[in-house]
Amino acid sequence: MKKAKKFAFVNDAAEKEYKDLPDKIQDEFGKDLRRIQFDEEPKLPVTHLDSIGAGVIELRKNGSPAFRCIYVAKYLDTIVVLHAFVKTTNGIDRQAMKAADQRLKELLAGIKKTH
């Protein structure tokens, strides 16, 4: 049986954002993140955010409002949630992308220190 990847939030702020989402949304994102831990395909649509970094992926739950969960699964055999938020704009949410980008940099800096 294949070993599941670990799961983590990049920091306390990312965990709080995720836990502040409605329970139903947390449940949907959680099920997909669990699928990803076992190398299965998520059910929700995804967008690859290569502009932030290789391997950064956004789970999308459209609607009014829409919700997003940005994660990376490329490092330390772990699914790391970088950012989760309510999407309120029709275009790119620059503030959310900036937060995800900054948190990826923090993650990579932390990995570099330990290796």
Question: What is the distance between the alpha carbons of residues 53 and 83, in angstroms, rounded to a whole number?
Answer: 14
| CATH number attached to the domain at 6-114 | 3.30.2310
**Residue 63 carries which DSSP code?**
S
Q: Mean pLDDT of all residues in the chain? A: 93
Cβ(68)–Cβ(84) under 8 Å? yes
Tokens of residue 87, six digits:
């999407």
Largest CA distance in the chain: 43
- Cite the DSSP H helix spans in 1-115: 12-20, 23-37, 94-114
pLDDT at position 39 over 80: yes
pLDDT at 111: 87
Q: How far apart are CA 51 and CA 39, in angstroms?
A: 23
pLDDT tens digits, residue range 13-37? 999 999 999 999 999 999 999 999 9
Hey, where are the domains in the chain? Answer: 6-114
